[in-house]
Amino acid sequence: MKATDDERLARAALSRLAEPGDEELGALVLRDGPVAVWRGIENGSLSAKGVLRWRTRLVDLDPQADLARIEAAGGRLVCPGDFEWPSQLDLPEPWAQQRPLALWVRGDADLRLSCLRSVAVVGSRAATSYGASVATELAASLAEKGWTVVSGAAYGIDAAAHRGALAVGGITVAVLACGADVSYPRSHDALLRRIADEGVVVSELPPGSAPSRMRFLVRNRIIAALSRGTVVVEAALRSGARSTAGHAGHYGREVMAVPGPVTSALSAGCHESIREGAICVTGAADVIEAVGAMGVDVVEERRGDERPTDRLDPHSLQVFEALPVRRPAQLAGLVRRSGLDPGTVLRCLGALQRAGLAEGSDAGWRMRPPECST
């Protein structure tokens, strides 16, 4: 299935005429279709409150040129109806009017397939070393397990998440608040080029568009909608990352947060989210447990390092704990201390000796420290 050429041209035009997330335009497109809405704006026949603000941009409108520009940048316009369109962006009521009109995409990876198993990792631009380290490790672990990492390519947590996924050969999706052909921040030019080479760069805005504060906030809903869940690694009480998490909650996605130092203002937003019901996560296993498909995404059991005594049966453990550390004890003393009969104690002593946990001599039996075992 594929959007028609007329629909593609209309959606390209509308993405230039209106700001992302324009709910009035979204409602009209849902009702009348993109081609009819574009023609109505162009010829002045459309009756809607927003017509005047949309028509002011007609003077700069050239959707064919925009399509040629994204193609020259190695990209494409992905529309509803295309195979590559992620169905999770077709938001239900009452958010249907917030659906993106189309996505300007740069990168060889297929957007829909990349986002089938995806998690958003977001957080503060002014990340601490703790936050950046957690984001990098979390993203790398998720990518190693076949999950796509979605973020916003900003400084701090976003960049750390993208780099973590790329470091292990994973796929990452950058959702921008500017044109997909624009490097913002400029210092992330190399990072964005690498994401386009190995993942996907996405924007609702046509080529060449500059970012703005409002565009960042509206962009966050795309990050949330594309992903099965959103992880906030570091965030102040008021932050864009918490805005993304809010959208995720509204759309029925999992909201997760990483705890941090109680003295850190950049973890205050995470702690508040957890108090409000967000899932507390400390690693990829927690995230996959929250968003993975039952019976498909199996989470490894979390356990500490195995100790030499972990595999002992209950009786052998009783005898081991009855053994003295220094001065050897005779069989009778071990029987009294363990509460077991002599035959059972002897059997267990033999097993402990073979395991390198006990040593016997004419003087009796004592514990053999694990670090001395062979």
d(CA 208, CA 183): 10
Q: Hey, what are 229's tokens? A: 């869940």
Once rounded to an integer, what is the mean pLDDT over residues 115-119? 95
Please report, as a single letter, which amino acid is at residue 94: P
pLDDT at 303 over 80: no
Question: How far is it, in rounded angstroms, from Cα 131 to Cα 269?
Answer: 13
pLDDT given for residue 52 in this prediction:
82
The per-residue pLDDT for 88 is 96
Q: Please indicate, yes or no, whether the overall pTM of this predicted structure exceeds 0.85.
A: no
Q: Does an H or E element contain 240, and which?
A: helix 240-250
Residue 228 predicted with pLDDT over 90: yes
Domains and CATH numbers, the chain: 64-291 (3.40.50.450), 314-372 (1.10.10.10)
Residue 372: predicted pLDDT:
43
Q: What are 308's two structure tokens? A: 């030499």
Model confidence at 110: pLDDT above 50: yes
Q: Which residue's entry shows tokens 């390519």?
A: 153
Kindly report, residue by residue over 317-364, the tens digit of the pLDDT.
899 988 988 889 999 999 998 899 999 999 999 999 988 899 988 889
Read off the tokens for 1.
């299935």
Q: What is the pLDDT of residue 103?
A: 98
Give me the DSSP letters along 126-193: S--HHHHHHHHHHHHHHHHTTPEEEE---TTHHHHHHHHHHHTT--EEEE-SS-TT--SSGGGHHHHH
How far is C-alpha 19 from the geometric centre of its chain's CA atoms?
26
